[in-house]
């Protein structure tokens, strides 16, 4: 049973009563849970006459741009423009991340923010200094947590737009209910969303079956040419160079989910995706079972996340990054 802190909830709702303008932040390379939880709050706040804007450090992927109220999002705005937005807001809400570095160029704005901050998140080790914190690692997604909180507010009127956004975050963070994070209570929330009128099959279609031919060929190329399987370590990894990405006209989000494919190989329990970028290498980790990839990411790759899904960054070349990865994986072989 997920327990919410009642004092926090009341404090949050009291704060909302004095609020006209909210500014929401979510993390770089926003996913379905980041965009979904932000836009669910937008929809819910509309019903209590609160104006809400959402700030994202960079562009959301194509398959999320159809979500209701997407026009309330501003992407990749300059730091000074975001500063001005904070100044005209009464309240800042941070969703689906728990340390300011996850908003990259806006990190200092959050660290120095004088407006009240509400944090709603489901990752471990929160490091963000918030006025009110809702952080719970037992929920499947930030969207689930947003719903558990907001449904206690008798003033909010929930509608299909709201429920659609919550559902998107839940399915994208649980691999459509396939990961262990899909606990029994989550399905109660899903029933409530269905009762609010969500078109669940349409939503799944919009999220998963709207990719370009190019993106599917990019996946084919990646699995064929860029996946290394190390059966002796029960591990497989994928790397993508800048050149690979250029060849396939890479768009944000195009490699989303690639890291999960090697996990479908029998006896592979640890996977990684290394994506070369202009100034660094973006890394995703996934595991099945007990190997704690968030600790691995934090210890060796400046990152963090969940036990079975984490990410990080490397500032050395992709070749050296891969060498380090193999070395550290061998050191942890007994845990995988």
Sites of contact with ligand 5GP (CB under 6 A): 123, 284, 303-306, 309-313
Beta strands, E only, 44-186: 51-56, 73-75, 91-95, 117-121, 132-135
Find which of Mn ion, ligand 5GP, none residue 144 binds, CB within 5 to 8 Å per kind: none
What ranges make up the beta strands (E) of the chain?
Answer: 21-25, 51-56, 73-75, 91-95, 117-121, 132-135, 227-230, 235-240, 270-276, 281-287, 304-305, 309-314
Q: How is residue 137 annotated by DSSP?
A: T
Residue tagged 């930030």 (tokens): 142
Q: Which stretch binds Mn ion (CB under 5 A): 102-110, 169-177, 230-238, 304-312?
A: 169-177
Q: Nearest approach, Cβ of 140 to ligand 5GP (angstroms)?
A: 11
Whole-number Å distance between alpha carbons of 268 and 200: 31
Residue 53 pairs in a beta bridge with 23
Instruction: Give the one entry of ligand 5GP, Mn ion, none that residue 165 binds, where binding means its C-beta sits below a cut-off of 5 to 8 angstroms depending on kind.
Output: none
Q: Shortest gap between Cβ of 205 and ligand 5GP (angstroms)?
A: 22
Give the CA diameter of the chain. 59
Stretch that binds Mn ion, among 29-37, 38-46, 47-55, 311-319 (CB under 5 A): 29-37
Q: SS3 of 98, please?
A: coil
Nearest by Cα to 303 from 59, 134, 110, 101: 101
Residue nearest Mn ion, Cβ-based: 33
276 sits near Mn ion (criterion: CB under 5 A)? no
Picking from 70, 5, 60, the residue whose alpha carbon sits closest to that of residue 32 is 60
Q: Which does 254 bind (CB under 5 to 8 A by kind): Mn ion, ligand 5GP, none?
A: none
Partner that binds at residue 284, options ligand 5GP, Mn ion, none, CB closer than 5 to 8 Å by kind: ligand 5GP
Least distance (Å) between residue 87 CB and Mn ion = 28
- Each residue 107-126 as x (binds Mn ion by CB under 5 A) or -, in order, gives --------------------
The answer for residues whose C-beta is within 8 angstroms of residue 335's C-beta and 6 or more apart is 290, 291, 292
Among 12, 33, 262, 268, binds Mn ion (CB under 5 A): 33
Nearer to ligand 5GP, 46 or 286 (CB): 286
Residues 170-189 within binding reach of Mn ion (CB under 5 A): 173
Measured from each CB, the residue nearest to ligand 5GP is 311
The residues of the shown chain that bind Mn ion, judged by CB under 5 A, are 33, 96, 141-142, 173
């Amino acid at each position: 049973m997920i327990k919410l802190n009642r004092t926090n909830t009341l404090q949050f709702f009291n704060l909302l009563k004095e609020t006209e303008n909210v500014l929401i932040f979510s993390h770089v390379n926003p996913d379905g849970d980041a965009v979904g939880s932000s836009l669910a709050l937008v929809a819910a706040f509309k019903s209590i006459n609160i104006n809400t804007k959402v700030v994202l450090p960079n562009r959301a992927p194509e398959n999320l741009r159809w979500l209701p109220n997407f026009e309330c999002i501003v992407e990749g705005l300059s730091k000074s423009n975001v500063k001005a937005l904070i100044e005209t807001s009464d309240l800042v809400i941070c969703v689906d991340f728990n340390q300011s570095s996850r908003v990259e160029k806006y990190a200092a704005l959050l660290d120095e923010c004088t407006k009240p901050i509400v944090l709603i998140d489901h990752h471990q080790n929160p490091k963000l200094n918030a006025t009110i914190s809702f952080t719970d690692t037992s929920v499947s997604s930030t969207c689930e947590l947003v719903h558990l909180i907001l449904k206690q507010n008798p003033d909010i009127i929930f509608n299909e737009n709201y429920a659609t956004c919550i559902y998107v975050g839940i399915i994208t963070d649980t691999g459509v209910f396939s990961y262990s994070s899909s606990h029994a209570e989550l399905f109660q929330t899903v029933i409530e969303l269905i009762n609010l009128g969500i078109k669940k099959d349409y939503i799944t279609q919009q999220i998963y079956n709207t990719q370009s031919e190019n993106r599917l060929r990019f996946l084919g190329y990646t699995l064929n040419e860029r996946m290394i399987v190390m059966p002796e370590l029960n591990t497989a990894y994928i790397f993508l160079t800048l050149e690979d990405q250029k060849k396939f006209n890479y768009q944000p989000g195009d490699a989303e989910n690639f890291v999960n494919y090697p996990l479908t190989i029998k006896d592979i329990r640890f996977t990684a995706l290394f994506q070369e970028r202009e100034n660094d290498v973006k890394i995703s980790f996934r595991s099945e079972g007990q190997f704690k990839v968030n600790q691995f990411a934090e210890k060796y790759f400046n990152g963090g996340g969940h036990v079975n899904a984490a990410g990080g960054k490397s500032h050395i070349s992709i070749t050296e990054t891969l060498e380090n990865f193999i070395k550290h994986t061998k050191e942890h072989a007994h845990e995988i």
